[in-house]
Chain A
């Protein structure tokens, strides 16, 4: 249908776009091994000094630990709340289901900046101090729609007869959920957790707005960026990129596996 010439042109466009997207990351990775402070070619000397610095600089490691803990808790909470919500959305009847679904998915359509500012203003009014847990709450809001969407799709696919069989065999409602629904959702639950983790880990705006001194890795990277160029960022950026990418790949692979 598409002529051979047009196909060739489109292919060029595609790979050209991919090249442009990945170009700076590649350059950053290359220069993370360069001993020079700036991006000059040819590379005077190869070194892993910057990578070493990342690990020895206490602030980076502290930021990393904070990010992991925060993202881990956020994903756990979001996955659990998302599961309960998804189960009720699929299986229960209640008035206003459409409105509720709209509310749950709304954070996808609202700029993070808005969420961050509104939350900051609101918590200030309530007298709550900015802190890591507070940022966590904001991030749960941010990733919850993803969790609900993912899990809702999966739960809707499960044959109702499995749950009913468990009830008929004497299981209570909750027991049947634990014995039948959760195991069947295992891949989706893990994928959802990883997906939420990835987004929360990389999240900057809400964390920035709702913390003062405790610092996540994205915030630390940010402050380094605006205060002055430090080549360590090249190494750090490369590592964070690979880390997030691996998580994303794993989650995507889990989600796409054929279901029995």
Chain B
């Protein structure tokens, strides 16, 4: 019986729905579908994927992206937990927000600017290189730039900011009395971490790690500026296929591979989240 004195205004979602369906969902589905076709031939096939697997430059690029992403997540994790702990437990409430903001503020500025600034610093002619020659000797070359480690470093800083923010957000909601209870029951700072803080802050880490992985595995700007073009990552290869050889199905295939990789690596993490309680 539809006696509705007050209208159910669901129509507000329509513009967003149209936009997302038409310019997000459909393009991605179409791209995934495109990867199953080949130039000139009709019908669906996995040809592109075979080509992908056969071509070592392409698989190498994928491997580099994976190594990059995983390293970035590891570095970010190793630093984020102590940093988040410090902010959540060792700093007064008033200073906490300010300090978190100081740490995270660069997040709001242009990625490219930050990457570029690192390029200058890490170049052989840059500050670090010059300083090195001062200290060690005029002939030392600082070959850090234009390598995978440089990309890992650049993206690692971003990862630190993101994962710290996520872990901190979870940590800060932990009831202090739980930690006191741990102390009363004979625990130390280390057991407080292992038994109380770690499990409760884990969901925050999972989200942070997942997001960092996703950004790192598909990033273009940092590997190009800091990693150089000699040993490209997946993103760089995708761009050259798209704008260079203009092989659309192949570009689509690379995009699909990216999606698959993300799903494979991130899905288990998210299932972990289901297991732990998630607040967002």
Contacts and interface: CB of A to CB of B under 8 A. Distances in A.
Direct A–B contact in the complex, CB atoms closer than 8 angstroms: yes
Interface of A: 1-3, 6-7, 10-11, 13-14, 17-18, 20-25, 27-28, 31, 38-41, 80-82, 84-89, 91-94, 100, 103-104, 106-115, 117-125, 137-138, 140-141, 144, 148, 167, 173, 198-199, 201-202, 204-205, 209, 218, 221-222, 225-226, 233-234, 237, 240-241, 244-245, 247-249, 252, 256
Interface in B142-169: 157, 160-161
Given A100-B17, A103-B24, 6 more contacts: A24-B118, A28-B117, A106-B24, A112-B218, A114-B28, A222-B112
Contacts of B215: 111
Chain B interface: which size bin? 35 or more
Contacts of B252: 117, 121
A202 B115 CA distance: 13
B79 A13 contact: yes
B126 interface: yes
B73 to A, nearest CB: 14
Interface string B1-40: 0000011111111111101110111111011001000000
A117 B255 contact: yes
Contact of B113 (A41, A122, A237): A237
Interface in B191-226: 192, 210-211, 214-215, 217-221, 224-225
A256 B218 CA distance: 32
A7 B210 contact: no
Interface of B: 6-17, 19-21, 23-28, 30-31, 34, 79, 82-83, 85-87, 89-90, 97, 99, 101-103, 105-114, 116-121, 125-127, 130, 157, 160-161, 179, 183, 189, 192, 210-211, 214-215, 217-221, 224-225, 235, 238, 242, 248, 251-252, 255, 258-259, 262, 266
A114 B106 CA distance: 24
Contact of B83 (A13, A41, A113, A222): A13
Contacts of B211: 108-109
B67 to A, nearest CB: 17
B34 A1 contact: no
A117 B97 CA distance: 38
